[in-house]
Amino acid sequence: MDIRRFPGTRFATWVFFLYLYLPIVILIALSFNENRSATIWTGFTTDWYVQVMNNGDILNAAKNSLIVALWATVIATCAATFAALGMARRRFKGQTAVSGVLAMPLVVPEIVTAVASLLFFILVGFDLGLLTVVVAHTVFCIPFAYLPIRARIEGMDPRLGEAAADLYADEMRTFLRVTLPLLWPGILAGAMLAFIISLDDFVITYFVAGAGATTLPVYIFGAIRIGISPEVNAISSLMLIVSLLFVSLSTLLTWWAGRRGAA
């Protein structure tokens, strides 16, 4: 049955997408508004983007965001790669439970993860700062990196490893010469997804970041508490562009890996 034949389906679809994306389009348009008012258009300008690039607090927050995202991405991707390889190599008792634990951060409300992380750092005596943000982001990003890598492993032909073994290659040589080159698209896709999740995260960062560990999402939240300005619109637009770029690249790599595996 084609759902598009139901009365009102097309209209409801258009309303849904307009509600979802029209505010984003308006935000980007108002970031070029000459007037400092967030709602009154008086002319086109790119001065707000220039001010963003010359604002020391914004640049420092952007630097913190990049530091956290890079470290969290590297560690989470490495952990996710080893987890995916271990889960795919052979069946073991409790494998379903382990898979559920790996996927749990995807279904647990983020506020629960944030509060739990804060309590953990307080109990172990960690001073809140960039280190605690990196640790929390790493744990949160592992499932996002794990899924594309695991999907890539499942799409690989197991006979390739068997062929390498028939040619007297040991496990390490097989991994470096056969498995890893085929796995790279999935690893890159997972890393890009983890990077953008970390870069855009606000809830966890807000709870576990200490003094001097302000990231861009936290900075934006603090800025809009005193009113929305074109500067905030400009920062949000730049983050949106970066997010779209990385998500698109991650999707493209996943699609290309699937096509390559099918071939």
Q: Which of 66-70, 150-154, 177-181, 184-188 has the lowest mean pLDDT?
A: 177-181
Q: 85-106 pLDDT, tens per residue?
A: 887 766 667 677 777 777 787 8
Mean pLDDT across the chain, nearest whole number?
Answer: 82
Q: 155-202 pLDDT, tens per residue?
A: 776 666 666 665 666 666 766 666 777 778 888 888 988 998 998 899
Provide mean pLDDT across the span 219-232: 81
Structure tokens at 118: 């804060």
Residues in the chain: 263
Domains, the chain: 57-157+184-262 (1.10.3720.10)
pLDDT for position 103: 77
* Model confidence pTM above 0.85: no
Q: Which of 19-23, 183-187, 256-260 has the lowest mean pLDDT?
A: 256-260
**Which are the contacts of 49, defined by CB distance < 8 A and separation ≥ 6?**
31, 234, 238
